[in-house]
Amino acid sequence: MKYPKIPLAQTLIKLCEAKGIKHIIISPGSRNAPLTIGFSHHPYFKCYSIVDERCAAFFALGIAQQLQEPTAVVCTSGSALLNYYPAVAEAFFSDIPLVVISADRPKHLIGIGDGQTINQNHVFENHILYSANLELNLDNKQSLQDRNEIEINKALNTAYLKQGPVHINVPFDEPLYDMVDAASVNPQVIPAEDNVLPMESSVINTCINDWNSASKKMILVGVNPPNTINQEWLDVIAKDDSVIVFTETTSNLQHDDFFPSIDKIILPLNDEALMRLQPDILLTFGGLIVSKKIKAFLRKYRPQQHWHIGTTKANDTFFSLNRCLEAKPNDFFSEFLSGITTKQSDYKPSWNQIKAHRNSKHDEYLKTIDFSDFKAFEIIFKAIPNHTILQLGNSSTIRYAQLFDLNKTLNVFCNRGTSGIDGSTSTAIGCAVVNTKQTTFISGDLSFIYDSNALWNNYVPNTFRVIVINNQGGGIFRILPGHKNTENFDTYFETKHELTAEHLCKMYGFEYTKVSNTKALQGALQSFYLESNQPKLLEVFTPQTTNDEILLDYFRFIS
C-alpha cells in the first residue's frame, strides 16, 4: 500500500472506500497527483485512465447508470473541470450518482494570475445536488479536519440517497507527489440515513378512492431502469379496461397489454379522437419523456389530476401536476393496487383498436419503402441478440426507436436528461465495461463523430458493437420546419459532410464494415455479433435526401 503524504487526500480516499465507491475514472494531471497516487495504489478501487475529461465523465456516468451506485471522476485544476459539465447536467436530470472530485490550487493562488486556475468553488451550482468545497488551511488543524470530513460525508451520502451528481473540490499545495506507507488519518464515517417515510394510509386511501371513481386512467412511464416493478403489479394493471399504460423505448417495462410506440399511435389522431381519449387521471413515474406527441396531447387535453410517483424530482411536464407521491413506484403499487377495483370501460378497448390498426399499417408500409434510415432501423432492431443491452444515441436514433416494438428481452438506455449528442458513445462504453451482457450502441453520424474521443479508451470489451447510421448530416433537421435544400440549411442546420468512421476504427482498433443497401446490411448483421478479438463498428450509409420524405410519408400512410 502507498498513500499520498497529504492528509486531506488520505481522508477523501478513505471515505470513498468506506462509502463503497469502487470505480474511479482519472484524467491525467499534476494537481490531482495526490488523488491519483492514492486511488491507483489502493487494491479496493478499480481505476481507469481516460484523457479527455468530457469522455471520462460520460464513461463514469455509463458505469453509474448500470450499477445504480456512485462512480467517481477525478481531474486536475482549471478548465479540465469544466469539461465535466455536460455529464454533470445529464446526471442531474437523469438522477445518476456521479461524484466529481476536482483538485484545486490553494486559496492564496486563486485570482492572482497563476496558471491553470479558475473559480472552481460551486462551479456546477445550478446542476449539482451538493458542493463540498474543502479547505487547506485553518488555524485549528482539528477543526479543519473535522469540517472537511463532514463535508465529504455529506457529499457522498447525498450521491447515494438522492441519486444525482455531487462535487468535491480539493485544494492541494506542493509538493504533490510524496508518498507514505501508512495513512496518518482515520476519518469519521457518517452513515447515510434515508429519511423517506412510508406513505400515510390516508394518502393511499385518497388515491384509491379517486382512482376507483375515474373511468379513464392513463399511466405514462418515462426513463426507467429494468426490473423495478414486480410482474404481479403489471398484471393487475393490465386487467383493468379503464387503465391504459403508455411506455417508451427507455421505460424497460413490458406487457402485451401495454402501449409502446407512443408516437405511432398518437400522431395521426385528430382533435375529436384525442378529446375522447383524454384521461381523468394521469399517473407518471420514471424519468423524462421522449415523445413530443404525448406531451402535446396531454398539455392540450389536460387530465383532471396528474400524480407522480418517485423519490427525486416531480416534473410538471403537462402543467397539471397536483399530487407528488414520494415513494418507490414498486412500493406504491404494492399498497395501492390491493385496494383498487377494476372497472368496465371502453377506454382501453378504444386504444386497442387504434393500436392494432397502426401496427398493421406500420408493417404494410415497411414492405413498400426503399433503403433508408427507416428501413435500416427495422433490419437492425430485428438482429440485436436477445437478453443484451441497447444504448441509443439522441436525436434521430431515439426517435426512430420509438416507432418500433423492440425485442422485449432487451434493456434499453439513452441519455435523455439533457437529450444531448455529446457523450452517448462514452456512456455506452462505460455501460459495456461493467456488464456481462453484450452492449450494442446505435448512433447517428454527427453524434458519433462529435464524441469520437470516446474510442480513445483502453477498456472497450471485444463484445462491444457500434452501429453508425450515416446520412451525411443532421438528418433530423430535414423533418423539422425549415428551408431545406438550400446552401444556408445544408451548412448551418443539417451540417452536410463526407466523413466516415473508417479511419477512426483503424486508429482505435475496431473491426470496420460499411454497407449501403438492404441486402448488404442483412448480410453484415449475420456475422456482426459473432465473437471477435476486437470490438466492431458497422457503418450504414443511407440516402441523405429521401430519408425525411419516407418518414413523413409513414405518418400519412398509417393514418
Name residue, grid cell 448488404.
Answer: 520
User: In whole angstroms, what is the distance from residue 280 CA to residue 306 CA?
Assistant: 9
| Mean pLDDT computed over 314-339 | 94
Residue 103 pLDDT class (50, 70, 90 cuts): very high
**Cα(73)–Cα(103) distance, rounded to whole angstroms?**
11
Q: Do domains 201-354 and 369-558 have the same CATH topology?
A: yes
pLDDT bin (cut points 50, 70, 90) of residue 321 is very high
What CATH class is the domain 201-354? alpha beta
- The domain segmentation of the chain, as residue ranges, is 3-180, 201-354, 369-558
pLDDT digits (tens, 9 = 90+) for 12-33: 999 999 999 999 999 999 999 9
Mean pLDDT computed over 218-232: 95
Spatial contact of 513 and 536, defined as CB atoms under 8 Å apart: yes
Q: What does the pLDDT look like over 363-384, one tens digit per residue?
A: 999 999 999 999 999 999 999 9
Which residue, chain included where needed, has cell 441486402?
Answer: 519
Please report how many Cα atoms fall inside a 13 Å half-sphere around the Cα of residue 255, on the Cβ side: 21
| CB proximity list for 481: less than 8 A, separation 6 or greater | none
3-class SS of residue 67? helix
- pTM equals 0.95
Which residues are CB-neighbours of 528 under 8 A, at least 6 positions away? 383, 465, 513, 536, 538
The pLDDT, as a whole number, for residue 193 is: 86
pLDDT confidence of residue 138: 58
List Cα–Cα distances, 496 to 113, 400, 475, 481, 542, in angstroms. 42, 20, 9, 18, 13
Over range 211-238, report the average pLDDT: 95
Does residue 331 have a pLDDT over 90?
A: yes
| CA gap 292, 45 in Å, rounded | 42
Q: Where are the beta strands (DSSP E) in 165-222?
A: 166-171, 179-180, 217-221
Q: In 10 A of CB 322, how many CB atoms?
A: 11
Phi first, then psi, for residue 361 (nearest 5°) are -70, -35
Percentage of the chain beyond pLDDT 90 is 83
pLDDT tens, residue by residue, 341-368: 988 899 999 999 999 999 999 999 999 9
Per-residue cell: 389? 443491452
Q: Is residue 3's pLDDT more than 90?
A: yes
* pLDDT at residue 92 in the model: 98
pLDDT bracket for residue 559 (50, 70, 90): confident
Q: What is the pLDDT of residues 152-210, one digit of tens each?
A: 999 999 999 999 999 999 999 999 999 999 999 999 999 998 877 788 999 999 999 99
Listed range (57-61, 191-195, 237-241, 395-399) with the worst mean pLDDT: 191-195
Q: What is the pLDDT of residue 482?
A: 67
- For residues 98 and 127, give the distance between their C-alpha atoms in angstroms, rounded to a whole number: 12
Q: Is the pLDDT of residue 475 over 70?
A: no
pLDDT for 336 beyond 80: yes
CA distance between the termini of the chain: 68
Alpha-carbon separation of residue 420 from 2, 86, 155, 427, 446 (angstroms): 40, 8, 26, 12, 12
Confidence band for 145, pLDDT divided at 50, 70 and 90 = confident
Q: Name the CATH code of domain 369-558 (choices 3.40.50.970, 3.50.50.60, 1.20.1250.20, 3.40.50.720).
A: 3.40.50.970
Mean pLDDT, the chain, integer:
93
CA gap 138, 152 in Å, rounded = 17
What is the rounded average pLDDT of the residues 423-444?
97
Q: How confident is the model at residue 461, as a pLDDT? A: 97
| Backbone φ and ψ of 109, nearest 5° | -105, 5
Evaluate if residue 500 carries a pLDDT over 90.
Answer: yes
* Per-residue pLDDT reduced to its tens digit, 507-553: 999 999 999 999 999 999 999 999 999 999 999 999 988 898 999 99
Task: Flag whether pLDDT at 386 surpasses 80.
Answer: yes
The pLDDT value given to residue 335: 93
Q: If we measure between CA atoms, which residue out of 175, 336, 358 comes closest to residue 263?
A: 358
Q: Is the pLDDT of residue 88 over 80?
A: yes
Cell (9 digits) for 218: 392513463
The arithmetic mean of pLDDT across residues 328-332, rounded, is 94
Contact 214, 307 (CB under 8 A): no
Q: What is the pLDDT of residue 290?
A: 93
Task: Check if the beta carbon of residue 255 is closer than 8 Å to that of residue 394.
Answer: no
Residue count of the chain: 559
Cell, residue 154: 455529506
pLDDT band, very low/low/confident/very high, at 268 (cuts 50, 70, 90) = confident
pLDDT above 90 for 267: no
Alpha carbon distance 480, 473 (integer Å): 14
Q: How far apart are CA 552 and CA 228, in angstroms?
A: 36
- Confidence grade of residue 496 (pLDDT, cut at 50, 70, 90): confident
Residue 110 pLDDT > 90, yes or no?
no
The residue among 53 and 555 whose pLDDT is bigger is: 53
Q: Point out the least confidently predicted range of 2-6, 197-201, 345-349, 422-426.
A: 197-201
Mean pLDDT of 305-326: 95
User: Grid coordinates standing for 417?
Assistant: 436528461
Residue 513's nearest CA partner among 498, 499, 527, 497 is 527
Q: Which residues pair with 73 in a beta bridge?
A: 25, 100
Q: Residue by residue, what is the 3-state secondary structure of 433-445?
A: HCCCCCEEEEEEH
Residue 108: the pLDDT is 86
What whole-number distance in Å separates Cα of residue 464 and Cα of residue 441? 8
Domain 3-180: CATH superfamily is Thiamin diphosphate (ThDP)-binding fold, Pyr/PP domains (3.40.50.970)
Grid coordinates standing for 452? 469520437
What integer is the mean pLDDT of 64-78? 97
The residue with greater pLDDT, 429 or 483, is 429
pLDDT at 357: 92
CA–CA separation, 532 and 530 (whole Å): 6
